[in-house]
């Protein structure tokens, strides 16, 4: 397959499940820090924290750095009853690396420290007030969740919060200032983005804070990235000050491409979305947004993706499409074999914005990206449940001279795959398939127009096919 030396989404191997990824550049390598889902898991964030890194000049070459913090290192968690939720990392004034995290049983912020960005991180303490009271435990404190951090000089800005729609007990995203010891509060929490009950009349109305705070600075402007009450989108707000005066900016990315109207109707979902978490970073003069997608028909097996973005002259960011080639320097090569887990669009005639792990997924009604065997097995992912009308889309390819298209499928299906270059475009050709308990290859003479194209495969027929790969010749 054309896997080597091209950048794909997801950018990590298909058997790795890291949501909530926060990217940073340390020593000319991009490191990501996220929570860690389990394939076919029954809850969020069941695995230990790990990190991966890549050289700044080759975002296709990701290296596993290993476990950086075990869930059993949480206090009184030898039975792993508490999971490690989305973390963030910053480099302190002492040159060491600090990871901030909240576990699933306590609404307080823990901190661990390492001499290396690749860990291992050892427990350091809890974020606390000057009198030693732990943030989140004092009367009147709101619960702490999803910490994000930015260090400037001897001050570290900490952003936290989780606010469900309609919950008046939670006011919004909080900003807290820590002193040079990276733990002690020197400015108490203040609300910078309102929750849904308090958003009316503000610039955030309709896009109030839900979860997933992240913070970056570009020139003299602070960018607060967060997940809105819509869940599937990452929004941003800007301010010239790190703890006040934030104004809503817009949506950066949606993990179902909602409100994108460049290639389809704005309100048509093109993937099965869900919660979202990530951030923005500039790598070698190119800005990217990091986010995650949902797989396996559940909310609990999420994967890390990235797309190129542009920060305009006026500081705004336009919403970008989900693609299969986000980390790549341009479109993918228009020849050879590609695995179908690279699909950036996946849908059927019955539309759904959100991944639903109780209804249609249990009945195998919707297509889903999945894998064989168990979590940790290095099995290349594929698409299951390709029933009649199910469509998988891949963007983008630099096509030249393609005259044949092949696919690899298995399963109890009898029908054909239609091939298009747009989701609702002309059918360029059809590839018949039949029943098979093992992977089998089929192909047809199909001419793909020269140029940069998307590729869409729609199944028409009886039964349900699994779809492993496609080949361009």
Q: 234 near 292, Cβ under 8 Å?
A: no
Q: Are residues 297 and 396 in the same domain?
A: no
| Nearest Cα to Cα of residue 148 among 158, 134, 133, 137 | 158
Here the CATH number for the domain that contains residue 180 is 2.115.10.20
The helix/strand/coil state of 60 is coil
Task: Say if strands 63-69 and 88-91 run parallel, antiparallel, or are unpaired.
Answer: unpaired
Catalytic site residue from 16, 48, 142, 211: 211
Here the CATH number for the domain that contains residue 427 is 2.60.120.260
End residue of a domain, out of 248, 278, 309: 309
Q: What value does the CA radius of gyration of the chain take, rounded to a whole number of Å?
A: 22
Q: Are residues 39 and 124 in the same domain?
A: yes
Q: Are residues 85 and 218 in the same domain?
A: yes
What DSSP string describes 168-182? Answer: TT--EEEEEEE-TTS
Is 152 annotated as catalytic? no
- Residue 317 falls within a domain, yes or no? no
Q: Are residues 294 and 364 in the same domain?
A: no
Q: Are residues 110 and 244 in the same domain?
A: yes
Residue count of the chain: 473
> What confidence score (pLDDT) does residue 363 get?
58
The 3-class SS string of 355-407 reads CCCCCCCCCCCCCEEECCCCCCCCCCCEEEEECCCCEEEEEEEEECCCCEEEE
Q: Are residues 288 and 343 in the same domain?
A: no
In angstroms, how far is CA 341 from the centroid of its own chain? 15
Taking 70 as the pLDDT cut, the residues of the chain under it are: 1-4, 357-364
Q: 333 near 6, Cβ under 8 Å?
A: yes
Q: Where are the beta strands (DSSP E) in 62-134?
A: 63-69, 88-91, 97-101, 110-114, 122-126
Structural domains of the chain, count: 2
| Nearest Cα to Cα of residue 225 among 163, 289, 164, 271 | 289
Q: 196 near 187, Cβ under 8 Å?
A: no
Q: Are residues 282 and 243 in the same domain?
A: yes
Tokens representing 250 are: 């817009």
Catalytic site residue from 20, 146, 196, 208: 20
- Residue 321 falls within a domain, yes or no? no
**Strand partners for 282:** 287
Q: 63 near 55, Cβ under 8 Å?
A: no
Task: Say if strands 451-463 and 436-445 run parallel, antiparallel, or are unpaired.
Answer: unpaired
Q: Are residues 201 and 140 in the same domain?
A: yes
Question: What number of other Cβ atoms are within 10 A of residue 177's Cβ?
Answer: 17
Output the pTM of the full model. Answer: 0.97
Q: Are residues 57 and 206 in the same domain?
A: yes
The helix/strand/coil state of 340 is helix
Q: Are residues 353 and 422 in the same domain?
A: yes
Task: Say if strands 29-33 and 49-55 run parallel, antiparallel, or are unpaired.
Answer: antiparallel
Q: Are residues 304 and 359 in the same domain?
A: no
- Residue 363 falls within a domain, yes or no? yes
End residue of a domain, out of 274, 309, 344: 309
> What confidence score (pLDDT) does residue 294 get?
97
> What confidence score (pLDDT) does residue 365 get?
80
> What confidence score (pLDDT) does residue 364 get?
67
- Residue 2 falls within a domain, yes or no? no
Is 20 annotated as catalytic? yes
**Angstrom distance (rounded) from CA 130 to CA 154:** 16
Residue range of the domain that includes 271? 22-309
| Nearest Cα to Cα of residue 308 among 113, 80, 59 | 59
- Residue 320 falls within a domain, yes or no? no
- Residue 315 falls within a domain, yes or no? no
Question: What number of other Cβ atoms are within 10 A of residue 110's Cβ?
Answer: 24
Q: Are residues 125 and 237 in the same domain?
A: yes
């Amino acid at each position: 397959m054309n896997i080597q030396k091209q950048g794909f989404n997801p950018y990590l191997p298909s058997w790795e499940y890291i949501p909530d990824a926060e990217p940073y550049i340390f020593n000319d390598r991009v490191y990501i820090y996220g929570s860690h889902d389990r394939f076919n898991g029954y809850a969020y964030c069941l695995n230990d924290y790990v990190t991966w890194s890549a050289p700044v000049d080759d975002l296709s070459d990701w290296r596993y750095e290993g476990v950086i913090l075990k869930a059993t290192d949480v206090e009184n968690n030898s039975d792993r009853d508490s999971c490690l939720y989305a973390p963030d990392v910053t480099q302190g004034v002492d040159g060491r690396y600090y990871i901030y995290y909240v576990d699933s049983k306590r609404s307080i912020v823990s901190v661990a420290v390492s001499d290396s960005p690749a860990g291992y991180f050892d427990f350091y303490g809890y974020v606390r007030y000057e009198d030693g009271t732990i943030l989140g435990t004092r009367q009147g404190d709101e619960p702490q969740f999803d910490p994000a951090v930015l260090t400037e000089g001897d001050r570290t800005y900490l952003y936290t919060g989780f606010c469900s729609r309609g919950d008046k007990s939670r006011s919004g995203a909080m900003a807290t200032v820590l002193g040079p010891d990276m733990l002690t509060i020197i400015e108490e929490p203040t609300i910078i983005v309102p929750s849904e009950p308090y958003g009316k009349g503000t610039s955030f109305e309709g896009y109030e804070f839900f979860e997933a705070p992240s913070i970056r600075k570009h020139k003299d402007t602070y960018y607060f990235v967060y997940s809105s009450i819509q869940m599937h989108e990452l929004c941003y707000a800007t301010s010239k000050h790190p703890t006040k005066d934030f104004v809503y900016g817009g949506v950066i990315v949606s993990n179902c491409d909602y409100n994108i109207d460049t290639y389809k109707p704005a309100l048509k979902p093109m993937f099965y979305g869900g919660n979202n978490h990530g951030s923005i970073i500039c790598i070698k003069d190119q800005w990217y947004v990091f986010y995650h997608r949902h797989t396996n028909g559940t909310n609990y097996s999420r994967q890390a993706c990235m797309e190129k973005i542009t920060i305009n002259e006026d500081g705004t960011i336009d919403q970008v499409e989900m693609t299969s080639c986000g980390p790549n320097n341009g479109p993918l090569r228009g020849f050879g074999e590609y695995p179908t887990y690279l699909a950036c669009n996946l849908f059927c005639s019955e539309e759904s914005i959100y991944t639903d792990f109780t209804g249609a997924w249990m009945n195998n009604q919707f297509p889903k990206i999945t894998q064989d065997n168990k979590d940790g097995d290095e099995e290349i992912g594929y698409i299951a449940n390709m029933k009649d009308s199910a469509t998988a889309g891949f963007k983008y390819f630099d096509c030249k001279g393609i005259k044949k298209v092949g696919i690899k499928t298995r399963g109890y299906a009898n029908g054909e795959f239609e091939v298009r270059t747009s989701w609702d475009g002309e059918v360029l050709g059809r590839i018949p398939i039949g029943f098979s308990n093992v992977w089998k290859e089929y192909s047809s003479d199909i001419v793909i127009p020269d140029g940069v194209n998307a590729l869409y495969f729609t199944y028409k027929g009886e039964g349900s096919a699994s779809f492993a790969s496609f080949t361009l010749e």
